[in-house]
Amino acid sequence: MRYVKWALWGIFWLIIVAFFHYTLPQHDVVRVTDTFERRVDFGENSIFWAKADTGSAQGTANRDVFFIQTIRENGRPMVYRNEDTGWGWPPYFKFDTNNLQTEAADLRSTSAAPQWAVITHYGWRNEFISIFPNAVGIRAVDNPDVTIIPWMNIIILLVLAAIFWAIRVRWLRFRRARIDPVLEDAGDSWDEGRGRLSGWFSSWRRKK
């Protein structure tokens, strides 16, 4: 039973970590090689795609999606989608897809004369189920050795940790003040009742 409990806790924390890893912003240093637009037919992986851009028709089976092709410093390719998040989840409130596509196109360069850029995104890249991280911002940098401190992630995680700590402290206080005394009284009553029952059986046996 203990192993089942630990397995359930492990699955729970894996889900939590995966949720935050997918949702929180990440930063990649890349070189933009091309930008393009492609019609995408949504299937079983539709959960990993955003809704249609703000102002466009919703609920369509396919639509045009912007993409940004890049090369990382280690030479590996990385492709990002460029979709509005609107007022939905995750709450990036992104409405400037076209502007971001223009900025990315302006930063295109070649390996002979590279222009490095930092792309801020969320999500994962998986070639087997054809999902792409969603770019939410881009800016030029002088070289690929730039130091990036994820301040937003630090702030969000600190706030969530503070909320969790506050809820836990209040729960422990409530349990000590309200629940534990009731359980102790119930245990005392049970012990008292069991003692009386044992005494009754003992007296009954003596009478026999």
Mean pLDDT score, 3-7: 86
Give me Rg for the CA atoms of the chain: 29
Q: Is 134 exposed, middle or buried (0-12, 13-18, 19+ CB in 10 A)?
A: buried
Tell me if 32 sits within 8 A of 117, measured CB to CB.
yes
How buried is 166 (Cβ within 10 angstroms: 0-12 exposed, 13-18 middle, 19+ buried)? exposed
Tokens representing residue 68 in the block: 């940004």
Model confidence pLDDT, tens digit, residues 8-39: 989 999 999 999 999 999 999 999 999 999 99
Q: Are 146 and 69 in contact (CB under 8 A)?
A: no
In terms of DSSP bridges, do strands 116-122 and 77-82 run parallel, antiparallel, or are they unpaired? unpaired
Whole-angstrom distance, CA of residue 45 vs CA of residue 123: 13
Query: With bands split at pLDDT 50, 70 and 90, how would you rate the model's confidence at 41?
Result: confident
Phi/psi at 142 (5° precision): -75, -35
Question: Does residue 43 or residue 87 have the better pLDDT?
Answer: 87
Q: What is the pLDDT of residues 175-189, one digit of tens each?
A: 787 776 766 766 555
Distance CA 107, CA 138 (A): 9
Terminal-residue alpha carbon distance, the chain: 45
Q: Mean pLDDT, to the nearest integer, of 99-104?
A: 98
Which pLDDT score is estimated for 57? Answer: 54
Q: What is the pLDDT of residue 92?
A: 94
DSSP codes joined into one string, 30-99: EEEEEEEEEEEE--TTGGGSPPPPTTSPSS-SEEEEEEEEEEETTS-EEEEEE---TTSSS------HHH
Highest-confidence range of 2-16, 53-67, 106-120, by mean pLDDT? Answer: 106-120
- For β-strands 62-72 and 134-140, DSSP reports them as unpaired
Q: Mean pLDDT in the chain?
A: 86
Q: For residue 195, give the amino acid letter.
A: G
In this structure, are strands 26-41 and 62-72 parallel, antiparallel, or unpaired? antiparallel
